[in-house]
Structure 1
Amino acid sequence: MSTSRIAFIGAGNMAASLIGGLRAQGLAADRIHASDPGADQRAKLAAEHGIALYADNADAVAGADIVVLAVKPQVMRSVCEQLGPHLPAHVLVVSIAAGITCASLAAWLGGEAPRPIVRCMPNTPALLRQGVSGLYANPAVSAAQRQQAEELLSAVGVALWLDEEHQLDAVTAVSGSGPAYFFLLIEAMTAAGAQLGLPREVAERLTLQTALGAARMALDGDTDAAELRRRVTSPNGTTEAAIKTFQAGGFEALVQHALEAAARRSAELAGQLGN
């Protein structure tokens, strides 16, 4: 990655996080270019990271080995159609836009030879370099390019490869949308703590620190979540009373239905956006 030349098309929050992560890992500023229609955003990123910013996408991709498409899905087609003639067929294209398939990207970018394309679904904790991304590579992506894509996304968290492109819908349901599920639980636990008589700020801090600690226990150990839950659930104790109440309300089934709805909507949006 240290010798790769990377161009970002779109310099919003996720692109800025990736650029910051790459710079923190030691990638030289002169190896990174970016384009964005907003003059203020261009000035901000240039000042923060010392990279070259352009208003014109074609200028940003000149000489690039990797092009990261970080624009909104709704404008992806027009961006790709304008960009395609300026991209040699061997350049690795990495898309972080939700719902746009490799086939759609390849068709919009044009060209005779198959284009190497990696689709990825990061999540918002990537803004703190604590994200997780699912990645899928089309058959034109070489082993070396897979490694480049993995290093790119690893700059903001964990990168996990998928065997089938449709699995990105499940990634969207689990981790792409996942932070919102935890925020909802944090909201509910904080409100319940306040109803039980705690000052709201105390209830919130207790909830947040508990969430952080539980995640660290699950991540850092070699024990799965089910066993960790059993270890803190004493027979006839307070935790068991709460867990039984969750389960009586159909907690597991509700989670399953919610994620199925998110995955289904992801697939629907992919069909709409790809037309």
Structure 2
Amino acid sequence: MAAKIVLVGCGNMGYAMLAGWLSSGKLAANEAIVVEPTDTLRERAATLGVTALPDAGAIPADAAPRLVVFAVKPQVILNVVPAYARFKASATYVSVAAGTPISAFEGALGADAGIIRCMPNTPAAIGKGMMVVVANDNVGADTSDFVRDLLSASGEVAAIGDEGLMDAVTAVSGSGPAYVFHFIECLTAAGEKAGLPVETAKLLAMQTVYGAAALAAESREEPGTLRQQVTSPNGTTAAALSVLMGDDRLKMLMTEAVEAARARSVELGK
């Protein structure tokens, strides 16, 4: 069978990744096999034109995928992995399960298995994600490039060489969307307190964060330079920034928050 990819698990993240691969043209429907035990999720995947199966045993004996991608919950992933060891001769294994180290996959599949660990974040569901990958020494450059190109359908992709940095990645981009969502909540509440109707305050907060992030991403200027361009001496923005930046208040708060998330990621990985 000519499938390039076996996708194990097609919940919200798995489905979003699959849809992105297909819609971007990076993968054809006949090049993918989905394994999903839940009937409704399997049927949803099948609507995309892929082969959708209930378990690993249903995969044809002649299948020789290039990648096996695990998009299942961390609590069950090591129970799922051994059923796919038979593809080791052809496949590299890619995991998007948070907190599961490469060594755990090597223990289940053998030290000679090619393993890539990926940390995505929730904006990947709309193609605006941040994916960070780290690979073991069994993964060749061609496969690494193939995986990075495939993942780029879901957003930006960065590679790190030290798996130990995944705890910091988790703290910045993995958990980061929640920080931004809370900032939007707080800016909305502040707008309400300043007298704005709730829906107006919400729209202003959300669109301002969205527009500022888009400008920062598309501009050639550093974020600090963009901040300075908005800030007139002794103006309204300067007054607000004196609160946020005075004594490095916001920087210290964010540093403390990221360190708390990083430390918890370390604990969960033990």
After TM superposition, the score normalised by the length of structure 1 is 0.92
Q: CA deviation at 1:4?
A: 6.4
Q: CA deviation at 1:15?
A: 0.9
Match of 1:100 in 2: 100
Q: Which amino acid counterpart does residue 120 of structure 2 have in structure 1?
A: P
Within-5 A mapping of 1:232-243: 232-243=230-241
Match of 2:77 in 1: 76
Gaps in structure 2 of 5+ consecutive residues: none
Q: Which amino acid counterpart does residue 109 of structure 2 have in structure 1?
A: L
CA contact (8 A) 2:34 2:45 kept: no
CA contact (8 A) 2:3 2:64 kept: no
Q: CA deviation at 1:90?
A: 4.0
Gaps in structure 1 of 5+ consecutive residues: none
Match of 1:255 in 2: 254
Q: Quick one: which of 146, 158, 161 aligns to 1:160?
A: 158
| Identity fraction in percent | 40
* Secondary structure of 2:269's aligned partner: helix
* Secondary structure of 1:74's aligned partner: coil
Within-5 A mapping of 1:144-155: 144-155=142-153
Match of 2:66 in 1: 65
Within-5 A mapping of 1:1-275: 5-26=4-25, 27-47=27-47, 49-60=48-59, 62-84=63-85, 86-110=86-110, 114-248=112-246, 250-271=249-270
* Secondary structure of 2:7's aligned partner: strand
Q: Distance in 1 between matches of 2:142 and 2:120?
A: 21
Q: Which amino acid counterpart does residue 46 of structure 1 have in structure 2?
A: A
Q: CA deviation at 1:65?
A: 1.3
Q: Deviations over 1:114-150 (max 9, x none)?
A: 1111101010000001111111011100011101110
Across the aligned residues of Structure 1 and Structure 2, the Cα RMSD in angstroms comes to 1.5
Q: Which amino acid counterpart does residue 78 of structure 2 have in structure 1?
A: R
Q: CA deviation at 1:235?
A: 1.5
Q: Deviations over 1:148-190 (max 9, x none)?
A: 1101211111111111111111111111111100000000010
Q: CA deviation at 1:205?
A: 0.7
Q: Distance in 1 between matches of 2:101 and 2:227?
A: 38
Q: Which amino acid counterpart does residue 29 of structure 1 have in structure 2?
A: A
Q: Distance in 2 between matches of 1:148 and 1:164?
A: 20
State the number of aligned residues.
Answer: 265
After superposition, the Cα gap between the structure-2 partners of 1:258 and 1:118, relative to the gap in structure 1 and judged at 3 Å, is: same
Q: CA deviation at 1:247?
A: 2.6
